[in-house]
């Protein structure tokens, strides 16, 4: 049991107590369900890879988004991680292409421009691409990455946009922090 707790606690967001709760939960499951879970994890590791075009996670290379002729090829949405692509796809609103950087600039963590898929993004920008949407996380690393990319992309003459940030739906204004309120005011739209 201790080994299972140690292995689960290596996952992001899972501490020792959460890992211990998961182990006790898993002990209550039938063996078949545990085997199915273990097999699905091994299958993900064996079958998933990165798309050679956008660097999204896929089982087929290139991925289904890059191969879809109905996607708007004039727009590329730049995200930090593959799970960001999944979040946008769940909305059903975005119809363009993606580019997954594989993280964000973080000098303190030793992550520089060469550690991200920035060169590959610049190589993808061709005549048919008209707009780059920067959809980095609204934190220090995401802002630094967006600023760095804007300095590289602006001279190319493309439309460069940043996703809006502000107060989430269902949140009371009194609970929003100052930075979120500032961003919400800066990103306001005509009504």
The CATH number of the domain where 20 resides is what? 1.10.8.420
Residue 94 lies in a domain: yes
Together in a domain, 97 and 42: no
Residue 128's closest CA among 158, 161, 101? 158
Q: From CA 69, how far away is CA 166, in angstroms rounded?
A: 33
Q: From CA 177, how far away is CA 134, in angstroms rounded?
A: 23
pTM, two decimals, is: 0.82
**pLDDT tens figures, 39-62:** 999 999 999 999 999 999 999 999
Q: Which two tokens stand for residue 56?
A: 């999204």
Phi, psi (deg, nearest 5) at residue 133:
-105, 120
Together in a domain, 95 and 25: no
Residue-number span of the structural domain to which 132 is assigned: 68-162
Residue 112 lies in a domain: yes
Contact 94, 74 (CB under 8 A): no
Structure-token match 């091994």, residue found: 42
Residue 60 lies in a domain: no
Contact 165, 187 (CB under 8 A): yes
**pLDDT tens figures, 57-84:** 999 999 999 999 999 999 999 999 999 9
The CATH number of the domain where 96 resides is what? 3.40.1360.10
Contact 97, 71 (CB under 8 A): yes
């Amino acid at each position: 049991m201790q080994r299972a707790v140690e292995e689960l606690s290596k996952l992001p967001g899972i501490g020792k107590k959460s890992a211990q709760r998961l182990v006790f939960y898993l002990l209550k499951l039938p063996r078949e369900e545990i085997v199915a879970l273990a097999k699905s994890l091994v299958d993900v590791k064996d079958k998933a890879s990165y798309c050679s075009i956008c660097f999204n996670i896929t089982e087929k290379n290139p991925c289904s988004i890059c191969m879809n002729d109905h996607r708007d090829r004039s727009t590329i949405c730049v995200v930090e991680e593959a799970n960001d692509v999944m979040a946008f796809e769940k909305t059903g609103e975005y119809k363009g292409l993606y580019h997954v950087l594989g993280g964000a600039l973080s000098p303190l963590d030793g992550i520089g421009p060469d550690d991200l898929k920035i060169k590959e993004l610049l190589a993808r920008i061709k005549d048919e691409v008209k707009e780059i949407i920067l959809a980095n996380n609204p934190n220090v690393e995401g802002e630094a990455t967006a600023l760095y990319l804007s300095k590289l992309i602006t001279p190319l003459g493309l439309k460069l946009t940043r996703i809006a940030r502000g107060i989430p739906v269902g949140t009371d204004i009194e609970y929003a922090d100052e930075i979120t309120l500032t961003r919400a005011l800066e990103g306001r739209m005509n009504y």
